[in-house]
Amino acid sequence: MSTSVSPALQAALTQMRELAAQAGPADAPRGERFNATVGSGGFSDALQSSLERINQLQQDSAASARAFQAGEPGVELHDVMITGQKASIAFEMGVQMRNRLVNAYKDIMNMQV
Pairwise pLDDT comparison (86 vs 14), residue with the higher score:
86
Mean pLDDT of 80-99: 95
Is 87 part of any domain?
yes
Number of independent structural domains in the chain: 1
pLDDT digits (tens, 9 = 90+) for 14-49: 777 776 666 655 555 544 444 444 455 678 888 889
- The mean of the pLDDT values for the chain is 81
What letter would DSSP give residue 5?
Answer: S
pLDDT at 36: 44
Domain of 24, in residue numbers: 7-110
Is 82 part of any domain?
yes
Distance from C-alpha of 100 to C-alpha of 94, rounded to nearest angstrom: 10
* CB contact at 8 A, 71 and 27: no
In the predicted structure, residue 74 carries a pLDDT above the cut 80: yes
**pTM of the predicted model as reported, rounded to 2 decimal places:** 0.60
